[in-house]
Amino acid sequence: MTCSFSLTVFFCTLILIVDHIAAEAITHAKKPAVILVPAAFSKASVYNQVKLCLSHEGYDVIAVNLPSVGKGAAKVNRIPDIEAVQKSLKQQIQNGKDVILVGNSYGGTVICDAVGDFEAKSSIKFTGKGKILGLIFFSGFLPYMSELSNAHPDIRSISPSWFRFEGTSRVFWDGDLTNLPPSHTLYNLLPLDQAAQYSKRLQPSSFAALNATAKYIPYNGNFRSLYVVGSNDNAVPPALAKTYFEQPGAKWETLTIDGDHSPMLSRPDEFVKIVRRFAGERV
């Protein structure tokens, strides 16, 4: 009798373990892929911490290095950046995975153009597997809707004073290190030692990429679009972000957090929660 009872308990426990493993596998399969696109001057490694956290929660996460940043930046325009994101996007869609695209600063401009060829896969129009659930812009530096029909102003006339231009080849972040160092413009909520560490990793960006005219606007209702404002953002302050929301025809979801221009570093837990909630989780 004791042996029979023990065997019953053993098999019941085994079934529960198998069911749990199966449930975890199903949950992972249902969660969307997340494509992370960095800002100008930054490599994909800036997302390492949040990438690890999202992966731990069952998401397939791809952080894209932009060809317009770093070595050889002067030789490329925005097209290679767009194609790099589209390559990952196309692969996930073909595999039947739903996708969320996340862009920080200039990375927001890139994901705008990247989804232009995939409008039919927007979750607003398409409900099958392999759709784009939407776009999340963290402190996005974005094209205005008018740019599609009007001339785009030269970036040198609208850029912040801390941008430094090497002719029309490369752009740097060190135009005013005395008054506006990266510890103030990009990483003002990080401890100074961490801000210094990330400042050393900054690399030049392509002028042609940053100065290019937008080809597609997704936040006109064609795609679900969430803009996350950093209340302490010194690069894209709330007043500038507001100009994106107030455009006629723009359709936004908006959220303000106690963040700076690099919330994946200064507010990683909040960053991860926002992505998970956008995907439909209750966290």
Residue ranges and CATH numbers for the domains of the chain are: 33-142+150-278 (3.40.50.1820)
CA distance 260 to 185: 9
- Taking only the tens place, the pLDDT of each residue in 40-81 is 999 999 999 999 999 999 999 999 999 999 988 999 999 999
Q: Please check whether residue 223 is in contact with residue 134, taking contact to mean a CB–CB distance below 8 angstroms.
A: yes
Q: What CA–CA distances, in Å, run from 194 to 36, 142, 172, 231, 270?
A: 21, 27, 20, 20, 19
Percent of the chain with pLDDT over 90: 86
Q: How confident is the model at residue 193 (pLDDT cuts 50, 70, 90)?
A: very high
Mean pLDDT in residue range 183-191? 98
- Taking only the tens place, the pLDDT of each residue in 102-122 is 999 999 999 999 999 999 999
DSSP H or E run through 230: strand 225-230
Q: Kindly report the backbone phi and psi dihedral angles of residue 265, in degrees, each rounded to the nearest multiple of 5, phi listed first.
A: -100, -45
**Closest C-alpha among 76, 78, 85, 34 to residue 56:** 34
Length of the chain: 283
Q: How confident is the model at residue 8 (pLDDT cuts 50, 70, 90)?
A: low
For residues 9 and 86, the model is more confident at: 86
- Taking only the tens place, the pLDDT of each residue in 141-163 is 999 999 887 777 899 999 999 99
Q: How confident is the model at residue 21 (pLDDT cuts 50, 70, 90)?
A: very low
Mean pLDDT in residue range 93-109? 98
pLDDT of res. 10: 53
CA distance 255 to 144: 19
pTM of the model: 0.89
For residues 6 and 242, the model is more confident at: 242
Average pLDDT, the chain: 92
- pLDDT above 50 for 206: yes
pLDDT of res. 30: 86
- What residues contact 172, with CB distance under 8 A and at least 6 apart? 41, 163, 164, 165, 166, 204
- pLDDT above 90 for 258: yes
**Closest C-alpha among 101, 138, 72 to residue 216:** 101
- pLDDT above 70 for 5: no
Q: How confident is the model at residue 253 (pLDDT cuts 50, 70, 90)?
A: very high
- pLDDT above 80 for 179: yes
Token digits of residue 222: 């064609």
Report the first-to-last Cα separation within the chain, whole angstroms: 46
CA 154 and chain centroid, separation:
25
Q: Please check whether residue 64 is in contact with residue 36, taking contact to mean a CB–CB distance below 8 angstroms.
A: yes
The residue assigned the tokens 């209750």 is: 282
Q: Kindly report the backbone phi and psi dihedral angles of residue 7, in degrees, each rounded to the nearest multiple of 5, phi listed first.
A: -65, -40
- Per-residue DSSP letters for 42-68? --GGGGHHHHHHHHHTT-EEEEPPPTT
- pLDDT above 90 for 13: no
**Closest C-alpha among 81, 82, 83, 86 to residue 70:** 81
**Closest C-alpha among 185, 247, 177, 260 to residue 219:** 247
